[in-house]
Amino acid sequence: MSPPSLPQKSHVILCRPGFSELLCSELATFHSIDGQVLGPACVGLKESTVVPPLKTMVFARQIMPNAILVKDLEPGKAAAEIVKRLQILAKRSNSPEGHWTIHSFSMDDDDALAAARKIAKAFRATLKKTDLEMDSNYLDPEIFASTARKNKDFVIQIFGSSKDQVYFNISSLSTGISIHEGGVQRMKRFHDAPSRSASKLSEAFLFMGKHPKQDDTGVDLGAAPGGWSMVLAFHGTHVIAIDHSDLDIQSKTHLAGSIRHLRENGLKYLPEKPVDWLVCDMVMNGSQTLEVLSNWISGNHMKDFVVNVKLPNNNSWPKAIEALKFCETHRQTGAWKFIGAKHLYHDRHEITLMGERA
């Protein structure tokens, strides 16, 4: 059976595999947009729909404005279709120019990835024969993402939703797309971190555009085995790590801050005086997490926070919307420069709530 699809030209929004239903629910509830699940990792929108900014969507990883469903998956014919689209755009005021790259990818589907990469390879070969000037402006995806970019620079995205369904689009950076392939920015493994969860906190700081500074103070609730405490201390924070269990921190020599471990209950602990940062990755019901965060906010016990909210494996939307409405309620108080949520790349069945005081 063929996978579902929209008309040949539409907008496509990408997410983590298995979260397209949640993305559709989010679009309907918070943006009044009717999306269609195209696969486990993508949602389609009608061409007439105004696509919300990427950063305002919790479950979205990447956007593909005006994406086109490839008619013929034979690589040479698919490449010719992309060239034709470039020729059409060249006649308009939104003609692509500047440096560019290709993102050919899928979301955890090897057959779909192979199909996308074959098309990308054929397109580069075709371009070398037909447009050497454009080809000379090509940059490797890693170089493109790691160096200074201009709004006129653009990306050709070739996304394999399945081995039988491939979309492509051509977007300048002015459209708000992520400069990372598939919207995925992997964090480097934190040195000596006892768990992969340390990457979640590093990614959260990157999303916020802010991280702790030297001699900040912080509390890590449910700290064991200690990954989040290490990330805070690496940035110079003096951390109080709250957990009845042992921390597994082998070395502190590379940490600019300090870590003090208290064997107390993370659900009940409150600091003697306000701290700069609250972080929490405790494994508990999402409603409990929000209750803890609410107590900290109402008591002015911290300035900024990063708190992970676990979602149930089944019927996740009610818990997700509870967390998102929590953020919306506090946003309306005007006390926050930023407060929101994101399903980060390093998140699994959870979302990360973040806040920075005004």
SS3 state at 294: helix
Say whether 190 sits in a helix, a strand or coil.
Answer: coil
Closest CA to 190 of 200, 182, 199: 199
- Exactly one of 200, 310, 319, 342 is catalytic; which is it? 310
β-pairing, 9-14 vs 62-69, is antiparallel
Under a CB-based contact definition with an 8 Å cutoff, are residues 226 and 247 in contact? Answer: yes
Separation between Cα atoms, residue 217 and residue 196, nearest integer Å: 23
CA dihedral 337, 343, 346, 348 (to 10 degrees): 140
Enter the DSSP assignment of 195. S
Please name every residue paired with 259 in a beta bridge, in sequence order, or none if there are none: 239
CB 221 within 8 A of CB 283: no
If DSSP states are collapsed to H, E and C, what string results for 117-177?
Answer: HHHHHHHHHHHHHHCHHHHHCECCHHHHHHCCCCCCCEEEEEEEEECCEEEEEEEEHHHCC
Pairing of strands 217-221, 275-280: parallel
Residue 86, judged by CB atoms within 10 A of its CB (0-12, 13-18, 19+), counts as middle
Neighbours of 188 (CB within 10 A): 7
Query: 47: which 2 tokens?
Result: 């061409």
Max Cα-Cα span within the chain: 69
- Residues sharing a CB contact under 8 Å with residue 180, sequence separation 6 or more, in sequence order: 62, 145
Which residue(s) pair with 20 in the sheet? none
The two counts, helices (H) then strands (E), for the chain are 9, 14
Q: Which residues pair with 268 in a beta bridge?
A: none
310 included as an active-site residue: yes
Q: Which residues are catalytic?
A: 310
